[in-house]
Amino acid sequence: MQSDHGFTLIELVVMMTIIGILAVSAIPQCFAPETFDASGFRDQAASALRYARTVAMASECPVLFSRSGNSFNLSHPAAGAACPAATLNGPDGVPFTATAASGVTFSGAAGVTFNPDGSASADADFIVQGGGFNPGGAPGISISVIAATGYVQVN
């Protein structure tokens, strides 16, 4: 008497063929370097916005997050004798600036200033695009700053 356990040779060959087709066509699209670069830059920009808000509240001086092309930087705008204009350094002591990798674009508002009370000067939206990094067919991932609270939201 034969047992009906396992797969037939034909079933195994068909499954291997399907897996091979997926490996050659679909899977590399999920691991495109631009996808990881866009995701990393999005996280970096959101962290910089949150850091700017935290420094503004801790130092009681406004902090400007400014976007220029595919890069951003943080600085203290001139706000009286107690808050002179200066480039803001990150926790590592290096000026807080970043540029998107090749294949990644950073667009949206020109900048936003965080006030000492934690609020922002205006609502601001920034968009990061690159590779296949557009879940749901969206044109990119947006980072929003809510003016009233300074809350930074990654959409």
Overall pTM surpassing 0.85 (yes/no) = no
Of the pLDDT bands very low, low, confident and very high (cuts 50, 70, 90), residue 15 is very high
Boundaries of every domain in the chain: 32-154
Are 123 and 147 in contact, with CB atoms under 8 Å apart?
yes
Question: With respect to CATH, is domain 32-154 assigned 1.20.1260.10?
Answer: no
Residue 136: per-residue pLDDT: 52
Yes or no: say if 88 and 52 are a contact pair by the CB < 8 Å rule: yes
Greater pLDDT, 23 or 52:
52
Q: What average pLDDT does this structure show over 6-31?
A: 83
When the pLDDT of each residue in the chain is averaged and rounded to a whole number, the result is 86
